[in-house]
Amino acid sequence: MADDQKFLADIQSDSADTRFAAWRQAGEASPAVIPQLGKLAAGQTGVGKASREALTTMVHSVGKDPASANRAGVVRGLIAISGPDYPLPVRVHALRLLSDIAAEDSVPPIAKWIGAAELREEVVYCLERIPGEASNKALMAAYKDAPDDFKPRILAALGHRRAPGAVGLCLEAMRSPNKDIAVMGARAFGRIGKKPATAPRYPDIKGLSDTQATDVMDGMLRYADAQVKEGNMAEAMAVYKGALERPQEHWQCAAVIGLARIGSADAAAAILSKLKSDNRTVRITAENAWKSMAGTKA
């Protein structure tokens, strides 16, 4: 306790060198100092910086080993200062640090702030980084009640996490009349890359901006690439052949490259049709793919 008092006094010292020495040693401080550090951490001042750095050092000191003795105490302290009694910058800092070390048991007290407009972005950031199914479930539960302008952010998190349980949610999102939600649904679906029980129905590209259409096609190509890795060649082939028929040169190239990974006679036949393409980039890509399939390096 006496050490904690000295530590907190040093953090508040007028001397930058004293503050620095204190924050560098913060890994040895008790988690009991976290609430006080939280009160000091908001300012754009030397003391504010020393307090934030001390919290960060405490996190790093318990970060390597999930079973370390102080870890639970540090996490509890951070959850406490992520609450509404603390200024917003401190809550944000606490959530960032929790994203480095929090485990599944911390998800409920973190996820409960997802409805707070000023904090929701940081809550999703934090949940996105916490391993395990609890975060996926919390994000999917939050999606149901989220306003439309925030649904794409949650879908992005689920896609980034490759959450297989979110495939149904993505399929549902792809059918949304809200284009931002529909496009992000396709993006997330492609990133998860899991074959659903029923065929995916992608948003109609015709009604989308070029950037949105590009996002949807990219989601489809990512999905196809994932199917190749899973050995679902027929599923992948259908996507690549569709892309091959598009006028866009780079979608044709992506299809050719994907088909070469499949490596079947059917895939070779599709690539063959592009060896005489009028487009030079497509033609060179097809030549290189052809050579790679034949086992000779381009």
Spatial separation of the C-alpha atoms in residues 75 and 81, rounded to whole Å: 10
CA–CA distance, 297 with 57 (Å, rounded to integer): 50
C-alpha neighbours within 13 Å on the C-beta side of residue 225: 15
Rule CB under 8 A: is residue 16 a binding residue for another protein?
Answer: yes
From the CB of residue 250, how many other CB atoms can be counted at a distance below 10 Å?
14
Instruction: Give the C-alpha separation, 154 to 142, whole Å.
Output: 8
- Nearer of residues 167 and 187 to another protein, judged by Cβ: 187
287 lies in the site for another protein, by CB under 8 A: yes
Specify whether the CB–CB gap between 140 and 166 falls below 8 A.
yes
Answer for which of 20, 30, 232, 242 binds another protein (CB under 8 A) is: 20
x-marked contacts with another protein along 146-185 as a string, rule CB under 8 A: ------xx--xx-xx-------------------x-----
Residue 36, sorted as left (phi over 0), alpha (psi -120 to 50) or beta, turns out to be alpha
Among 8, 242, 250, 293, binds another protein (CB under 8 A): 250
Please answer whether residues 62 and 68 qualify as being in contact, where contact means their C-beta atoms are separated by less than 8 angstroms.
yes
Binders of another protein in range 48-107 (CB under 8 A) = 49, 53, 57, 59-60, 63-66, 96, 99-101
* By the rule CB under 8 A, 206 interacts with another protein: no
Sorted by sequence, the CB contacts under 8 Å of residue 145 that are 6+ apart come out as 115
Site string for another protein, 266-285 (x = CB under 8 A): ------------xxxx-xxx
Comparing CB distances to another protein, the nearer of 48 and 165 is 48
Is 116 a residue that touches another protein (CB under 8 A)? no
Residue 135 to residue 154: CA distance in whole angstroms: 11
* CB neighbour burial string for 97-134, b if at least 16 within 10 angstroms, e if fewer: bbbebbeeebbebbbebbeeeebbebbbbbbbbbeeeb
Report in angstroms how near the CB of residue 284 gets to another protein at its nearest: 4
Token pair listed for 276: 């005489």
The CB-of-133 to another protein minimum distance in angstroms stands at 17
At a CB cut-off of 8 Å and minimum separation 6, what does 47 contact? 11, 12, 19, 40
Only one of the segments 105-113, 118-126, 136-144, 167-175 lies at the binding site for another protein (rule: CB under 8 A); that segment is: 118-126
Q: How far is the CB of 201 from another protein (least distance, A)?
A: 21
Q: Which of 4, 46, 235, 263 binds another protein (CB under 8 A)?
A: 46
Count interface residues toward another protein (CB under 8 A).
Answer: 63
Stretch that binds another protein, among 30-38, 73-81, 215-223, 264-272 (CB under 8 A): 215-223
- Please give the biggest Cα pair distance in the chain: 80
Q: Which residues bind another protein (CB under 8 A)?
A: 16-17, 19-20, 44-46, 49, 53, 57, 59-60, 63-66, 96, 99-101, 121, 124-125, 128-129, 152-153, 156-157, 159-160, 180, 187, 209-211, 214-215, 217-218, 221-222, 225, 248-251, 253-254, 256-258, 278-281, 283-285, 287-288, 297-298
